[in-house]
Each structure stands twice: as structure tokens, then as C-alpha cells.
Structure 1
Amino acid sequence: MRRRTFLTGSLIGAAAVAVPLDTLLAPAAPAATPAPVTSLAELQSAIDRAVAGDRIVVADGTYTVPPGGALTVTDRKGTAGAPITIVSASRGGAVLRGERSFVFRDSDYVTLSGFAFRQSETLAIPADSTGIRLTRNDFQLADEPGLDWVLVEGDDAKVDRNRFHDRTTQGIFLVVDGPGTTAVAQRLHVFKNHFARHGYTGANGGESIRLGVSSRALSGAHAIVEYNLFERCDGDPEAISVKSSDNTVRHNTIRDSQGGIVLRHGNRTTVEGNYLLGGKEGIRLYGNDHLVVNNHLAGLTGRALVIGSGTTRDHTDGETTEQRRGNDACDRAVILHNTLRGNKSSLSGESREHEPRDVVVADNLLVGDAGSLVALGRTTGFTWQGNILWGAAADGTLPAAGYTRVDPRLLADADGIHRLAADSPAIGAATFTGVPVPEDIDGHPRGTTRDIGADEYAATAPLRRPLTPADVGPNAS
């Protein structure tokens, strides 16, 4: 697909003139460096003319959209292989202020890159627009109660390498909804973003990411949230709140945050290879058929891993709004190869009417010196297998079998993560084979004989470690 870059000038209306043959046959001169657009009017004009493959560059500077106005992207049709790209000349160099920035209508495969967004209204990707991408932007919208900063309702959106930061009020950085009342946006990919410093002190409503909402819980979103860093995300007990089905949350780092990863509504979500370090909440599960594997939870002052009970056994179609808001008991989850170390509460439950059922808790490593390592309420049909417990904390509400109390021999690495020593009894001791686990949290292959906990012992350096600000955000690779 031919690519065009819009200039500040235009060739429209130029007169046609006769050109000598020798001129036509002469070698083409090198193309001039295109000049970026320098005003909102030029930018809107370039957007209105854009076709698949076009690239519109916006000069660095501050652009204030007038009250009631917006940059409208209407009926613009890029393709997956040739998107329409609207990009700041330098990352963060084009600052957009005013009530609204870009408003999408019936547009596909448009990319916004490198802007500093400073609006007082939500940036929305509507259900009639597919393949919209937000990449390498800086989001710090108005610090107003109830303002959600980015809303995704359209399918196949990408939100990557952005920075969301600094707010003190109720509202969510990134919300995923969908058309109608029960559907949810499909195949969203959220990766390599930096979420930081949300200081709202209310009870809830300040998530960093909310995937769905109660009425959409039974709809499969098939979203992937991976390689994101969350720091001081204190706006809600749920930094990542999942309220839809069939999602993957993997390889994220949540550090020094009140919020954790909560599968609040929905079924069949995988939580894999995440680090939750030095904050409060860990991972909390409701709904059915989840897989929680290879996660490392350390130094949490709240509950590290909660197998939730419910006000209902299962959510169903046709529930009232109030019924859907209730908790769905956790059934048939597989909790496998996780490391829980030095948390105030390691593995716990709740006391609602419907107890969790038929959950597998296998090959996990629980180490702690306070309270009880396991504090579950009533359960039914649990499978306990191959777990290691250690530390001064009491065993708690465990069955007579399914675990060993032995020192797992953990050594602190340079990144602060405790991994298995070469003589650890956890090496080769895993016993559960019901779920394939090809690699560990570090990216090392598990092999046919697996180790207990999130770490598979290896003499080589980890391929993945806890994320730092250098790994995410607008300048990430």
C-alpha cells in the first residue's frame, strides 16, 4: 500500500503544463522532507483526506481544541496492514488540551501515536470502529471525579506503550465495555503500558484497568493484558478488574500498590506469570474454570490469594442487575505453580453462602512467618497435591495430605526475587500433570519433571524479570 505523508501545503488546483520528454526521462530528484501539520485546522483537513497507508505528522506544540469541538475521525478506513497513522513529531511533543481530542465514528485501523493527552472528557473507541490503536502516548486527563480516561468498545483495539499517571479522584484509567448491554469488545490487546500514581482513597471505582462490567460478565472478551507495569495504583483494591470471560492476564508487574488482580465476574480467565510485590492485595477469584499459574506474590500486607465464595453458585443469563452484582462462587479453578512468600495472609477464603468447589491447589510454594499459611472457610471437592509450606506461620485449615513442610531453600536474586537454590527440595518434586505448563515465570522451560513454585531452577539468567519503568511506556522497545 502506497504511503502518503501530509504537508502543510497543497497541490490542489495546480495547473497542468507540458513537460519536455528529456525531463520526464531524467532521474527523479530525492523526495523533500515532508513538513508536519502545524494547526488544528490543517490536522482536521489531513484527517478528512486520509486513506489507508497515510501518515499524518503533527508538529510539536500545544493545541487547544475549542469548547464543544473535537478532531473528528469519520469514515476513515485503514487496514490491518496499512493503517492510517496520526503521530506527534516527537513523543509527547504534541500536547492536546481542551474538552475533547479525537472522536472516532465508523473508522477502522487508525493509530494515534506520541501525543500528550490533557483533556477533560473521555477518549473513546466506539463499537463502530475496529482496529484502533493508541500507542506511545502520555495520558494525564483532568483529575475530575468519575472521569474514565480511555474507553474501549470497538473490536481489535490495541493500547500499548502508553503512560497513564497521576490522579487523585474516582475514575478508571482504561475501561473496556461493548455494544448493547451484554456484549463486550473483542480481542483487545493491552501491553507494555505504565500505570502509575492513582491516589484515590475511596472504597472502589479507581481501577487501573476494568475489563467489562457486571452485565457483560458472561460474554467472552478474549482480551490479552500483558507486560504492563503498575506502580502505586491505590485507587481501588482491584488494579486489574476482570468482569468478562475468556481473558488472559500475564507477565504484568504490580508493585507497591493497594490494588491486585481480581477476577470479579466471568469465567475461564488465565492469570499467568505475574509479579505482585510489596503492595496490599494479590489475586482474588470468583467464577468458574480459571487457571492461576506461575505467579509470584511477595511482601503483600493484605490477602495474597483468595479463593472466593459467592452469593450465588453461578451467574446466568436473565439475572437482574442486582443479582449480577453479587459474587459468583469460585468453581473448578486450577491454582498451580505459584510462589507466595512473606505475605500477611497467604491463601484464604470467605464465608458467603455458596462455598468454592472442585478447585485444584497443586505444586505451590507457601512461605510465611505470621498467621496461617492457609485460612480457607468451607470448601467442597478440593484437590490438594504437591504443595510445599515453610516458615513460622501455622499451616492453618489444610487437609491431612497434599503438602510437605520443608525448607524450600530460596535465595534472593539481584532483582529482589527469591528463586530456588541448586539444592532445593522443590526441584523435580511437582506431581500435578493435568495442565501443561511449558515454562516458568522467568521464561525457562519446565521440561518433563517440573519444580514446585513459580520458579524452575536454572543455571542461566531469567529471560523475564519484574518490569521496571524502562521496560514500558512511550519509549519501550
Structure 2
Amino acid sequence: MNRRKFITAGTVAAGLAGVSLTAGLPASARSLDRRYVRSLDELQRALATAGPGTLITVANGHYPVPAGTPIAITGKRGTPSRPITVRAECPGGVVLTGEQSFVLTGSSDLTLSGFAFRQSTTLEVPPDCKRIRLTRNDFQLADVEGLHWLMVRADHSTVDHNAFHGKTTLGIYLGIEGAGTDAMATGVHVYRNHFSDHSFPGDNGGEPIRLGVSPRALSTAGAVVEFNLFERANGDPEAISVKSSGNVIRHNTIRDSLGGIVLRHGNANRVEGNYLLSGRNGIRIYGDDHRIVNNYIEQVAGSGIVLGSGNVRDHFPGETPASRRGNDAPDRVQLALNTVLDCETAISGESHRTLPPLGCTITDNLLQASTGQLVNMPFQDGISWAGNIHWGTATDGNAPVSGFRRVDPRLAAGADGIRRLTAGSPAINAASQSYRDVDCDLDGDRRTGRVDVGADEFSRRRPGLSPLTPADVGPNAR
């Protein structure tokens, strides 16, 4: 099927033509076997003979993919240093419509770059593939009830510099799962993406990122989700929903959204250096051995951080599906060095389940608000408190008096609106303990010696990290 028409000034490509699609690609992808195709037939023929290092550029245009004949990529194997790259002539300049676009099978070290995906079925990266990269693409699939837009099941895949936007119905933007029913893809890296404008009005099922599902909770995924921006992510209370183990969620910005970061299932996840701003949900935690450090949460309508309760003590291999769907009471969770400002409640728990947190620590956090209460923790016996700072006219709630002191931390807003410590703050060098596994603060400044309370380590230098803006993410970011 030949291409039917070109887009010469399409809305998808507007403003993006100056971005090189070879940016961030290995040098080999810029210099070896180059091919330029102008139709789907030419693309399929080029793919048939592509090998390591081949770079296929698809001419800008509108390409309706015929039903039953997707763009098949089967058994194509590049190498880590010489991937096979299929790219649009400019970001967003190649619009793929129809039921399907690319269908991948048994392939590895393959990059798809710069496409505008407008198909009506899920784009799948199956478990028989490996090291698949999706970069600088624009996802706005058909707004079909229950349709998930991108599902990654292949180990060591990368999803970066993409835009996901404009869904009003049930279904997620990006899912990460694995083979079978209980495995997770390992080593997936998700970074510099823009997730925006998911407006599904239900109370479940519209997550921008869902990292696992309950049957896969005990599988160690080792995913890194970092430097992504979420705006108006209103399809679910969970903007980043973690349902697997051993992941890192860091340096993301969630702004003006219903969704927060939720460790719903799984163990040993790390949530570090994220901004949650002017939303309705903060960070909520179930499961064991998590580290929640260096996060900045401001003006969340609910609780900044929720240390949950459980109806099961621990998930285990072989438990029933009903048990696995239950909430795992938090054990050995560390909440430390977070800054929580002007939320309805800074740190809270849950009382509607019977199993309390056990062996958890809440230390050296900076909590400040002018209304509401700072702490509402119904279960106290399983929690140790130390070194926290409270300030503002909000009440202390039921925080144990031995676990905090009430003193003005002397915060001031920077050019990015983030409130940081100023010289002479009593939070400086005031932490109650050392944190060997926390090397840097929210801004990227080194934490040395006796560290400062809260997410910010006082520095006179300009912050190296700030909340992300649309210019920092998506297909047009450098």
C-alpha cells in the first residue's frame, strides 16, 4: 500500500522540525547503512534486508496502515552498539493510522523514532523481543474504552522523549508487564516523557504509567522511571502505579493532577527526589522495604504521604488471586528527608484496614502548613519517629512529641517556586541520623556530614534540578 498523502504543515509536526531524530542515538546509527522510503511497501522491503546499523528514514506523510497487513518487524536483530533504527523524517511528521502500526516479533536492538501513533489497538513490545527503544514519538491512539496505548513486555526496553496525551476513556497510557502471568520485564527505562490530559472520570483504570499488575507483584522488575512530567493526569488517583518490586521512581514532576505516586503492590521500591505540586494525591505506600526520600510535596488537597494499612501482612508465592489483590501492610518502610508543605495532612495513615505498619521509620522530614493537621497516624506502635520539623499554624496532630520539634525552618521560594532552606535555618545539619544510601538532595546537591532536615540540603549554588516543564520532556526536548 503506497502512501496516500503527505503532511506539509501538520499539527503533529509543527514546531518539531528542528529536532534531530539522531539525537541520543549511538554514533553507529548516524553513519552506516542509510535508506529513505516513501511508502509502506518500500518500508517493508527495507526492513526485510535490514541488519545491524541500518537506518531507515520514512518520508513525512500520512500513512493509513491497511487492516490485516501491519508493518511487520520479525526476527530483526541489531546489536547494542549498532541498532536497527526506523525513524520519521522529522518528529511527528509520519502519522500512522489504522488498526495497527508496527508489529514486533523476535527482534532486538531496534529503535522506533519520531512517529505519530494514531492506531486503534495497543502497540505491543512483546516478551520475545529485547532492547527495543521507543523515542520521540507522539501517542494519541483512538479514544477507545478500555484500550491501553503502549504495553512493554520486553527486557531492557527504553521509552524516552515521547508524548502521551488526550485520552478521555478507561485505559492506561503505558503499561510494563512481562511474559506469562507473573513475570515482569526487567531493566526497563522510562525517561523524559510527557504524560498529559487523561480525563477519564472513573476512579480506577486511567493510569499514565502502570508498572506491573497484582499477579506480578513479587517479580523484581528493576525498572527506572525518571525525569517524566505529568500534567492534568486525572484518569486515576495513581499517576505512577507500582505493582512490582525493585524499581526506582525518581526526579519526576506531577503537577495539577488527580494522580500521585502509589506503591500498590510489591517490595523494595525507591521513591526519590520527585515533585508533587498542586494536585489531589501525594505518595501512598503498601508493601515492604521501601525507601521514600528527598521528595517535595506541596499543596496536595489530600495527604502528602500516606503510610497505608493492610488486610494481608505479606504477599507470598502461591497465594490466591483474591489475597494477592489485597493491601499488604507496610513493613520496614523508611520515610526520610521529605518536604511536605501546605497539604490537608502532611503524613497520615489508614484505619479502615486492620493490619498496621510494622518496623517503619519517619525521620528528618520537614512538615509545614497553615491549615489542617500535620500528622494523622492511627497506628503508632509499629512506627519510630525522630528529627522531624513542624511549622505553621496547622496542628501537630497525633505525632509523638519526642519525634519532632516545632521551629521555623526559614524557607524561601526560588525562581522555580520551590521553597528551600535559607542561611541560618535550624534545619541545617540537624538530621537525627546518617543516611548512607542518600547521596544527594532534591536539587542534586551532595549530602555530606550531618545532613539537613527535609528534601533540600542548604546551598548557595543555583539548583541543578528543578520541577520539569514541557520544554524538558517529550519529542521536542534536547
TM bucket, shorter chain: over 0.9
Aligned to 1:5: 34
Aligned to 1:328: 328
Matches within 5 A, 1:249-264: 249-264=249-264
Aligned to 2:266: 266
Determine which structure has more spread, i.e. the larger CA radius of gyration: 1
Distance in 1 between the 2:333 and 2:241 partners?
A: 18
Verify the 8 A CA contact 2:433 2:450 in the aligned structure 1: no
- The yes-or-no answer on 1:361 pairing with 2:362 is yes
Aligned to 1:131: 131
What secondary structure, in the 3-state scheme, does the structure 2 residue paired with 1:401 have? helix
Q: Alpha carbons of 1:379 and 1:317: their partners in 2 closer, same or farther (altered >3 Å)?
A: farther
Aligned to 2:416: 415
- The yes-or-no answer on 1:65 pairing with 2:84 is no
Aligned to 1:384: 385
Distance in 2 between the 1:264 and 1:88 partners?
A: 37
Distance in 2 between the 1:41 and 1:160 partners?
A: 28
Verify the 8 A CA contact 1:440 1:455 in the aligned structure 2: yes
Structure-2-length-normalised TM-score: 0.93
Verify the 8 A CA contact 1:246 1:267 in the aligned structure 2: yes
What secondary structure, in the 3-state scheme, does the structure 2 residue paired with 1:44 have? helix
- Range with bigger deviation, 284-293 or 66-75: 66-75
Aligned to 2:235: 235
Verify the 8 A CA contact 2:356 2:382 in the aligned structure 1: no
Distance in 2 between the 1:193 and 1:337 partners?
A: 26
- Range with bigger deviation, 371-380 or 298-307: 371-380
State the identity as a percent.
Answer: 54
C-alpha displacement at 1:68, in angstroms? 2.1
Distance in 1 between the 2:224 and 2:329 partners?
A: 24
Summarize deviations over 1:135-156 as a string: whole Å, max 9, x none.
0000000111110000011100
Aligned to 1:24: none
Gaps of 5+ in 1: 7-35
Distance in 2 between the 1:220 and 1:404 partners?
A: 39
Residue 217 of structure 1 aligns with an amino acid whose one-letter code is A
Structure-1-length-normalised TM-score: 0.93
Summarize deviations over 1:275-316 as a string: whole Å, max 9, x none.
000011000000000000000000111221000100100001
Summarize deviations over 1:310-338 as a string: whole Å, max 9, x none.
01000011111111111000110111100
Distance in 2 between the 1:433 and 1:313 partners?
A: 29
Distance in 2 between the 1:241 and 1:297 partners?
A: 17
What secondary structure, in the 3-state scheme, does the structure 1 residue paired with 2:134 have? strand
Aligned to 1:457: 458
C-alpha displacement at 1:69, in angstroms? 2.1
Structure 1 consecutive aligned stretches of length 4 or more whose deviation exceeds 2 Å:
none
Residue 133 of structure 2 aligns with an amino acid whose one-letter code is R
Residue 83 of structure 1 aligns with an amino acid whose one-letter code is P
Verify the 8 A CA contact 2:309 2:350 in the aligned structure 1: yes
Verify the 8 A CA contact 1:207 1:240 in the aligned structure 2: yes
C-alpha displacement at 1:197, in angstroms? 0.4
Distance in 2 between the 1:421 and 1:429 partners?
A: 14
Residue 252 of structure 1 aligns with an amino acid whose one-letter code is N
Aligned to 1:443: 444
Residue 456 of structure 1 aligns with an amino acid whose one-letter code is E
Distance in 1 between the 2:65 and 2:382 partners?
A: 59
C-alpha displacement at 1:353, in angstroms? 1.2
What secondary structure, in the 3-state scheme, does the structure 2 residue paired with 1:353 have? coil
Tell me the number of residue pairs that the alignment of Structure 1 and Structure 2 aligns: 448
Distance in 2 between the 1:152 and 1:398 partners?
A: 42
Distance in 1 between the 2:379 and 2:468 partners?
A: 37
- The yes-or-no answer on 1:340 pairing with 2:340 is yes
C-alpha displacement at 1:180, in angstroms? 1.0
Verify the 8 A CA contact 1:138 1:162 in the aligned structure 2: yes
C-alpha displacement at 1:342, in angstroms? 0.6
- The yes-or-no answer on 1:426 pairing with 2:455 is no
Residue 411 of structure 2 aligns with an amino acid whose one-letter code is L
The alignment yields a C-alpha RMSD, in angstroms, of 0.9
- The yes-or-no answer on 1:374 pairing with 2:375 is yes
Distance in 2 between the 1:353 and 1:48 partners?
A: 59
What secondary structure, in the 3-state scheme, does the structure 1 residue paired with 2:38 have? coil
- The yes-or-no answer on 1:402 pairing with 2:431 is no
Verify the 8 A CA contact 1:47 1:73 in the aligned structure 2: yes
What secondary structure, in the 3-state scheme, does the structure 2 residue paired with 1:395 have? coil
Aligned to 2:116: 116
- Range with bigger deviation, 417-426 or 254-263: 417-426
Distance in 2 between the 1:435 and 1:212 partners?
A: 29
Distance in 1 between the 2:381 and 2:86 partners?
A: 55
Residue 362 of structure 1 aligns with an amino acid whose one-letter code is T
Verify the 8 A CA contact 2:108 2:130 in the aligned structure 1: yes
Aligned to 1:14: none
Summarize deviations over 1:178-206 as a string: whole Å, max 9, x none.
11111100000000000000001101000
Verify the 8 A CA contact 1:357 1:379 in the aligned structure 2: no
Distance in 2 between the 1:435 and 1:349 partners?
A: 27
C-alpha displacement at 1:472, in angstroms? 0.4
C-alpha displacement at 1:434, in angstroms? 4.8
C-alpha displacement at 1:449, in angstroms? 2.1
Aligned to 2:3: none
Residue 441 of structure 1 aligns with an amino acid whose one-letter code is L
- The yes-or-no answer on 1:166 pairing with 2:195 is no
Distance in 2 between the 1:257 and 1:205 partners?
A: 15
Matches within 5 A, 1:295-314: 295-314=295-314
Distance in 2 between the 1:475 and 1:77 partners?
A: 28
What secondary structure, in the 3-state scheme, does the structure 2 residue paired with 1:394 have? coil
Aligned to 2:101: 101
C-alpha displacement at 1:263, in angstroms? 0.3
Verify the 8 A CA contact 1:157 1:189 in the aligned structure 2: yes
